[in-house]
Chains A and B, each alone.
Chain A
Amino acid sequence: DAKTTQPNSMESNEEEPVHLPCNHSTISGTDYIHWYRQLPSQGPEYVIHGLTSNVNNRMASLAIAEDRKSSTLILHRATLRDAAVYYCAQGIKAAGYKLTFGGGTRVLVKP
């Protein structure tokens, strides 16, 4: 079974970068690494995903280790609106695909 682990919580100051680690040591060669974030009483919101190469979009960057057993989500300048639970997930091929989520990291942003 896919197993994804994340720290329970992290704190950051506003306008500073946040680096969120994720371990996915059982990942297979075709599994994608996805990141979602969730605000209270809302569904998860897509942040970024990748396979092998580092990825950037308007929300964040994703750095993937060369052996793919870990990855880091980077929020370049945290704002108060970035306070949320961030989930790392493995995308596994299965009649389409399915996601297996890690336990999530609660990010607190201090003004």
Chain B
Amino acid sequence: DAMVIQNPRYQVTQFGKPVTLSCSQTLNHNVMYWYQQKSSQAPKLLFHYYDKDFNNEADTPDNFQSRRPNTSFCFLDIRSPGLGDAAMYLCATSPPRMTKPQHFGDGTRLSIL
């Protein structure tokens, strides 16, 4: 089945130690998204790529960066994680048209020690 895969499912890092989360897709979708979801809250969009075009949300901290080396892969880099960055990070993909839904991975739960 075509899908969105996030690795790892659980990630533990130390305060201030850079961490990278990965996402891959077999759907061949143009658009890839990264969301942050804190406990008991809704997903919040951090940024998205339309092909190689990077689109940052205005309130996304500079501490969060992303790379998309090809259509299938996208990475979320947190340069200096703080305790407030502990959350579930969700990757999603979609075609560019709003008439098509987004497809989500099962997320990476990030813990900060």
Contacts and interface: CB of A to CB of B under 8 A. Distances in A.
Interface residues of B, number: 29
28 contacts: A30-B98, A31-B98, A32-B99, A36-B102, A43-B104, A43-B105, A44-B43, A46-B101, A46-B102, A46-B103, A49-B99, A49-B101, A87-B42, A91-B98, A95-B31, A95-B50, A95-B53, A95-B96, A96-B30, A97-B31, A97-B94, A99-B43, A99-B45, A99-B102, A100-B45, A101-B42, A103-B41, A104-B42
Interface of B: 4, 30-31, 33, 41-45, 48, 50, 53, 55, 90, 92, 94-99, 101-107, 109
B106 A103 contact: no
Interface in A27-51: 30-32, 34, 36, 41-46, 49
B48 A95 contact: yes
Nearest to A100: B45
A interface bracket (residues with beta carbon within 8 Å of B): 20 to 34
A91 B55 CA distance: 15
Contacts of A46: 101-103
